[in-house]
A and B are shown apart, each in its own frame.
Chain A
Amino acid sequence: MNGLLQFAREDRGFPPSLFPDYRATVARSPREALVHMPQTLTEVTGPGPVWDKLMGPAIHDLTTQHKGAPLGQRIIVFGRVLDENARPVPNTIVEVWQANAAGRYIHRKDDWDAPIDPNFTGAGHVISDAEGNYRFISIRPGAYPWGNHKNAWRPAHIHFSLLGPAFATRLVTQMYFPDDPLIDIDPIANAVPLPYRDRMVSQLDMATTTPNWALAYRFDIVLRGKNQTPFEE
């Protein structure tokens, strides 16, 4: 096992587990120091290209899952999955879920009184291609209030979940929109300090927009990369 390639550790852009402005972290974050460990075969492996057997066939168009078209502004969300050495991460699962155009989730526990859209679920998943590209069609989600503090509103966001090549590269994040002033007053986004917070903000990409049909937002996702020098005992 000497010379087993190691993935880089999380960088300074990662949030702490405890961030009291996001109140739910207080009772749900460890107080003991994390135990530092080398990555073993367990951590540098992950499920191979077996996504069909796990998450099932891809769902890339979230606007055609029901009888009618969902309400709201149609958007294209696309980008590349890369590692931090800027190399593509191919053949990896990208899962997304989001609220509808009014900011309401199709979830029994979401009791905000914005309307449910019977034509919108808001969940999908695709596999990145050989160059790490992925692409979804969806509608732009709305902002919504939540109970963290008085007059708290989440900025519009799309949840992303990626496995990458290994247990070590697992990532769950949220994509934000570039024209949203709520980002800078949101405790969850603010758990990530600037300038790293802006890594979660997508870019309006007019070149990928389909004229008279949909605006496009580019969101590249960067996973932990393999260290250039193998770990030695």
Chain B
Amino acid sequence: MTLDLEHREALPRHDNQNPDLFGQTPSQTVGPYFHYGLPWKGGADLLGQSEIGPRLDLVPPEHFVLNNAHGSGMPQGEAIEIKGVVLDADGAPVPDAMIEIWQANAAGRYNGDADMREDVPLDPHFIGFGRAAASAEGIYHFRTVRPGRVPGPGNTLQAPHVAVSVFGRGLLKRLATRLYFADGEGLDMDPILSLVPETRRHTLLAQKRDDGAWWFPIHLSGAHETVFFDL
């Protein structure tokens, strides 16, 4: 820590409307108190079947003003569970983390305007975006479908994957990573995985556990640090 933190003096300042300053708004941490502002009920259930997502133990009930989302029907494809623990450099769980996912549907189509491939079907019951607050033990939990394959750069085909964003107290900006399935088709040929040093690729592979869930631990730092991407 810088020694003068307690003695710094304030200076005069500009503001957001100064044209010389125009550019990307910088990132700041979500802090520890995002639970009544971001993760809604059902946010972590992309199947629309349950209320998982928020931490209701951290918000007085009369102050939970966020949505309670219900699906319009069961999406197509293989329903799966994704779980993991968020750990810091010392291996301690991170209870004030928030995880978001973005993925294609079972057919490999994104439910977003920029995916214009009309030959691959949309699923009216699947959006593909989810948000989960970590538990007191640092564990996050999603219910979703196993995504199909989507094209990569050139004529490549990407292995099935889920884009993951990590937020939390102490994270000044979003950390972006990817979840691949350990038994996924095309892992050897995946154009993004091949950019990752071979010794670290395992950090991106979710493993199927005995309870059927895909386990994807996120090591923010430390000996098993997860691969994070500059994208």
Contact = CB atoms under 8 A, between A and B. Distances in A.
Interface in A214-228: 218-224
B33 A97 contact: yes
B102 A35 contact: no
Nearest to B128: A47
Contact of B174 (A36, A46, A152, A170): A170
Nearest to A190: B8
Contact of A106 (B20, B29, B59, B174): B59
A139 interface: no
Interface in A36-78: 36-48, 50, 53-57, 59, 65-66
Contacts of B38: 95, 97, 161
B67 A198 contact: no
Interface in A1-35: 1-2, 4-5, 8-11, 13-17, 19-32, 34-35
Contact of A35 (B33, B112, B196): B196
- Majority secondary structure, B binding face: loop
B112 A47 contact: yes
B19 to A, nearest CB: 10
B16 A159 contact: no
Interface string A106-126: 111110000000100111100
Interface of B: 1-2, 5-6, 8-11, 13-18, 20-38, 40, 43, 57-60, 62-63, 65-69, 72, 88-90, 92, 94, 96, 100, 102-104, 110-115, 127-129, 150-156, 158, 161, 163, 165, 167-176, 178, 191-192, 195-196, 200, 220-221, 225-231
Closest 3 CB pairs of A and B: A97-B37, A56-B67, A24-B170
